[in-house]
Structure 1
Amino acid sequence: MSGIRVGVVGAGYVGLTTAVCFGERGVDVVSVDVDRAKVERLNAGRPTIAEPGLAEALRAGLATGALRFTADPGALADRDVVFVCVPTPSAADGSADLGAVESVAERLGEVLSPGAVVALKSTVPVGTTRRLSATLAPRGIHAVSNPEFLREGHAVDDFRQPDRMVAGSDDAGAAEAVCRVYGARSGPILRMSPESAELAKYASNAFLAVKSSYANSLAALCANVGADVSEVTRCMGADDRIGSAFLNPGPGWGGSCLPKDTAALVHTARMHGVTLAEVEACRATNAAQAGRVADALTRTTGLPLTSMRVTALGLTFKAHTSDTRDSPALSVCAHLGSEGAHVQGYDPELAAIDPDVLAAARVTAVDDPYRATKAADAVVILTEWPEFGDLDWAMVAEQSPDAVVLDTRNVLDPDVVDRAGLRYLGNGRMFGNRRRG
């Protein structure tokens, strides 16, 4: 590779994927995390997150000696480029909490040698990179905004085959050092000011949130006018000016990025006298989705939530991950539970989900989907796990013959559910000649 020595601070989704994928390429990588138990587990070749392809890449990097993990920031002293991948959660006012980023930057200023580059992958408000650059400059250290665009559940593939790489800096040499670490497989390289790079990340995520909320609003309209949202969005997605991504309706959007990033973007805009009405509206639409699910259940079953037994299939915020941060599935569960429903939940990644998180969402965990659906008044598909389409719905019907199946993700075959004798309710869909949305 380039011979550049790389450091990565933070071994969460972004940091671990970054370290592991550079390591499998033969880049000399030191990854630092404050969690010593996590460090030990990773050095033993056991990934701490569920992500397709990550375990194999982790073991490959460790086997060659290119990759190693430590809790000692001093191990970064000889690094040429250090990627900062620590959380920037929402503060009470919606702004991004930069405590972790600032703490790491201060420590790196003490540890790194002159000429080193700090690449900020953490999503930070406009002006953060320039401010940190000014702080680090007297020590001869440069800062570059290098936002990530990794999708959970596809993070390794996205890193290996990126659709773009952004380097935001006024220092051409520092930006070039970051680009050289990625090498020829970086995808299109977009160089810009740090302010543009920071805002581009927020703008991208907010646009996806707006698009997703629009799909949910369309689904609600389709249910009332007799249209099928899957047909409507198929037409929309065929237009290359729109595209099909993020047009699938669901119980809302969540995860570690969209909720906090839309909140931070709205906060930044207000601080500068700008109203982002579109983003504010999409957040309001998203917050209403749990109530929409509850209304659909009471209307269809004819039962009050206080006497309803609900099975939630899918608890993570999306399929192919164990992440429950700001999961819309858990938001729905918490809303149903707060209204008096008894909620049992199953997820293919249940073993990796913190029981305290489920308890906070008023979910009783059941480790088998058929036991979870026993004696249910309603079965709600909340995460788009493909496994749910393969369930034996006739078996579900035997033990819950009067259950309504509410498919918020539209991932089931309505005919299969109908033949099993269960009532199918899609999200803004038509089924046969009968309205089921």
Structure 2
Amino acid sequence: MSPREVGVLGLWHLGLVTCAGLLERGHRIVAADPDHALVSDLKAGRLPVAEPGLAEAWARGLADGKLTVTASLEALSAVEVAWLTVDTRLRPDGGPDIEDLDQTVNGVPGWPRVLLVSSQVPVGYCGALLARLRPRGCSDIGYVPENLRLGHALADFATPDLLTVGCSAPKVAETVEGLIGAPMHACKLETAELTKHAVNSLLATLITFGNGLGDVAEEVGADGREVADLLRRDRRFSPNLPLLPGPAFFGGTLARDLVALRDVAGEHGVHLPLLDSVVLSNVQRTGALVDRLSRSVPLEGATVVLLGYVYKDGTDAMRDAPGAQFEHELTERGATVRVFEPAVAPGNRPQAWYGTWQAAASGADAMIMVRPRVLTETEITELVLACPDAILLDLWAEMRGDLSHVIVPGVGAELGSQI
């Protein structure tokens, strides 16, 4: 795998991880973004997102001269391969909004012969993009769907479970193999684009099914988490199925592909009512969980602590953050909300943010474990002693058996010593 010069366009989470992953493989990177303020920060090593190992890889690239950061999109015409990594915005309904993506692409005066796309785009986008860019030097295009988990993105880039590459020509697959060196499956552009939609739509459907199954389990006296475990043991399924009852899916990633798949199906006269029901169920999930809490503690005038707020472990991402949705639902019901979330960046802290869990939990009527591992095992033990009467909605079943009043989705309410 010989080093190549790669231009990466779009420098937020996806683009930064792509740069870092390629740098680790010895390639030279021209990192471009039209946002001058962002470029200035990146040149100084100030990254806008948190991801384990990312800041260190970025600093090494700057120090050894293999990483160039620029706001000049003209620089992309001189690289061997360009990689489009602009993070696609979300429409109000959760689908992909490609307006900013198109605006950025249109601002590039010239392209190298090969362009790779990892931005989140609807089926058919890459083929249409190639037709638009041919007059500006691009002769081949590849779609490399991103499946980077926040908090694990560098590892996912280094060792993907399955690297799918949609290709306008066979040499595109050869280009990707030379850059990444990982096993891949080469296919048509449309196949790769649809696979991306399908993967996240299936994950969203399984999560929603697990939540609904858990609700039924609670009503009939079953253990929904045990049911999920038994399903995973069935050899017809996978031991990794995301079926444990818990919160809605957040962050926008799954919803974007779910809505995109629904939209493209509708455009071609195919009706998928299953996807409509998944979207609706997920929208209603946070409110349903707060309603579940209200059956154990009156929320009007109550003080409720959110333990965790950001999208997930290992990141400070606030887009479609679960804490924000819980805060809204609780406030609508008359509760006073406090937040303990050490991962949130200082500039993004909610108004009711507390610096310690002790201060946040003092005198609280209820708590919600919004994300897992926000507290250490020692801190959980201390919390139990400090708040023996508080109701806890434990979305991740981290504290089952530790408190006298615990609500675990899919299992039941106020379980405590009964577990």
1:265 to 261, 267, 278: 261
CA distance in 1, matches of 2:326, 2:133: 45
Counterpart residue type for residue 434 of structure 1: Q
Counterpart pick for 1:119 among 116, 120, 125: 116
Give the counterpart letter for 2:403 in structure 1. V
SS in 1 for 2:407: strand
Rounded to whole Å, the distance in 2 between the matches of 1:252 and 1:93 is 16
Aligned length: 415
Cα distance in 1 for residues equivalent to 2:407 and 2:382: 17
Could you list the per-position Cα deviations for residues 217-276 of structure 1 after superposition, in whole angstroms to 9, with x for gaps in the alignment? 122112112222221111122235233242233221111411222122212211211122
The alpha carbon displacement at 1:67 in A equals 1.6
Contact residue 167 and residue 179 of structure 1 kept, 8 A: no
8 Å CA contact retained: 1:251, 1:329: no
Residue 21 (structure 1) aligned with residue 21 (structure 2)? yes
Q: Deviation at 1:369?
A: 1.0
Which residue number in structure 2 is paired with residue 291 of structure 1?
287
Q: Does 1:373 align with 2:361?
A: yes
Alpha-carbon shift at residue 43 of structure 1 (Å): 2.6
Match status 1:159 vs 2:145: no
Q: How far apart are 1:191 and its partner, in Å?
A: 0.9
Give the 3 Å change call, closer, same or farther, for CA 56–239 of structure 1 in structure 2: farther
Q: Supply the distance in 2 between the matched residues of 1:197 and 1:395 (Cα, whole angstroms).
A: 47
Alignment partner of 1:425 is 2:403: no
Measure the CA separation in 2 of the matches of 1:250 and 1:61. 40
**Alpha-carbon shift at residue 352 of structure 1 (Å):** 4.8
Q: Determine the structure 2 residue equivalent to 1:174.
A: 172
CA shift digits 1:70-95 (9 cap, x unpaired):
22212222112111111222334654
Question: Partner amino acid for 2:242?
Answer: F
Distance in 2 of aligned mates of 1:138 and 1:34: 22
Conserved? CA contact 1:306–1:339, under 8 Å: yes
Give the match for residue 189 of structure 1: 184
Instruction: Within 5 Å, give how 1:24-103 maps onto structure 2.
Output: 24-92=24-92, 95-103=95-103
Q: Deviations over 1:96-128 (max 9, x none)?
A: 2211222232233x2224xx2111101111111
Report the secondary structure of 2:156's partner residue: helix
Give 1:255's match in structure 2, choosing from 239, 251, 255: 251
Q: 2-side partners of 1:264 and 1:353: how far apart? A: 32
- Does residue 1:128 correspond to 2:122, yes or no? no
- 1:219 maps to 214
Relative distance call for 1:347 and 1:353 in structure 2 (3 A) is: farther
Q: Report if aligned partners of 1:51, 1:155 keep a CA contact under 8 Å in 2.
A: yes
Structure 1 segments of 4+ aligned residues over 4 angstroms from their partners: 92-95, 392-397, 430-433
- 2:196 is aligned with what amino acid? K
Q: Deviations over 1:288-331 (max 9, x none)?
A: 21222221221112x2x221111011101222211121123321
Identity %: 33
TM-score, normalised to structure 2, is 0.92
Asked whether the 8 Å contact 2:215–2:410 carries over to 1, the reply is yes
